[in-house]
């Protein structure tokens, strides 16, 4: 009886481990240290205080959106990451495996800011909601949105948004 319980435990543990490996597989591949992005694109945020320029990485695929800024420990002040969701929809983000505190700026198809989640908590699995549907999300270092005065209705200038 003891052998069968041990065997069942071992089998259950192995199955759970295999399941975890399937779920964690992409994250493990992403856990390698990342270098600075090889390609960035220009983006401007237009606020009451003026035009603010950033060099951004654009995440266009499911794999890129899932990885985001995970495992990075630094992002220069003039950088950001833009998540292209291809259609306006309710968006839920999280900070799992993300070490950098971020501001999340939710954006409509037209490039208008719809919502701002300021100073999101690093390494948190708590979901951050777009509120109204969003077409894209721009992540910048925490405090940037307040520093440049980003408010709902402000505009982002980038080829992703309708002119």
Kindly state whether residue 147 falls inside one of the protein's structural domains.
yes
Q: Number of folded domains in the chain?
A: 2
Domain interval for residue 112 = 41-157
For residue 56, name the pLDDT band (cuts at 50, 70, 90): very high
Q: What is the pLDDT of residues 129-145, one digit of tens each?
A: 999 999 999 999 999 99
Based on the fold, state whether residues 8 and 67 are members of the same structural domain.
no
Based on the fold, state whether residues 57 and 116 are members of the same structural domain.
yes
Based on the fold, state whether residues 52 and 72 are members of the same structural domain.
yes
State pTM to two decimals: 0.78
Mean pLDDT of 95-110: 97
- DSSP 8-state secondary structure symbol assigned to residue 3: H
Angle at 147 between CA 141 and CA 150, to 5 degrees: 90
Based on the fold, state whether residues 97 and 24 are members of the same structural domain.
no
For residue 128, name the pLDDT band (cuts at 50, 70, 90): very high
pLDDT at 78 over 50: yes
Kindly state whether residue 162 falls inside one of the protein's structural domains.
no
Q: Which residues, other chains included, contact 106 with Cβ-Cβ below 8 Å and sequence gap of 6+?
A: 91, 113, 114, 115, 116, 117, 130, 131, 132, 134, 136, 137
Kindly state whether residue 163 falls inside one of the protein's structural domains.
no
pLDDT at position 38, please?
66
Based on the fold, state whether residues 79 and 118 are members of the same structural domain.
yes
Based on the fold, state whether residues 8 and 63 are members of the same structural domain.
no
Kindly state whether residue 60 falls inside one of the protein's structural domains.
yes
């Amino acid at each position: 009886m003891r052998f069968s319980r041990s065997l069942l435990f071992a089998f259950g543990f192995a199955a759970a481990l295999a399941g975890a490996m399937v779920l964690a597989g992409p994250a493990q591949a992403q856990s390698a240290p990342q270098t600075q992005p090889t390609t960035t694109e220009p983006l401007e945020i237009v606020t009451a205080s003026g035009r603010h320029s950033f060099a951004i990485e654009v995440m266009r695929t499911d794999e890129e959106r899932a990885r985001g800024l995970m495992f990075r420990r630094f992002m220069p002040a003039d950088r950001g990451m833009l998540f292209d969701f291809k259609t306006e929809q309710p968006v839920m983000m999280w900070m799992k495996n993300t070490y950098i505190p971020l501001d999340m700026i939710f954006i409509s198809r037209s490039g208008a800011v719809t919502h701002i989640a300021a100073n999101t908590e690093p390494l948190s699995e708590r979901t951050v909601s777009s509120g109204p549907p969003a077409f894209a999300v721009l992540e910048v270092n925490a405090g940037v949105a307040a520093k440049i005065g980003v408010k709902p209705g402000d505009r982002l200038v980038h080829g992703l948004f309708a002119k």
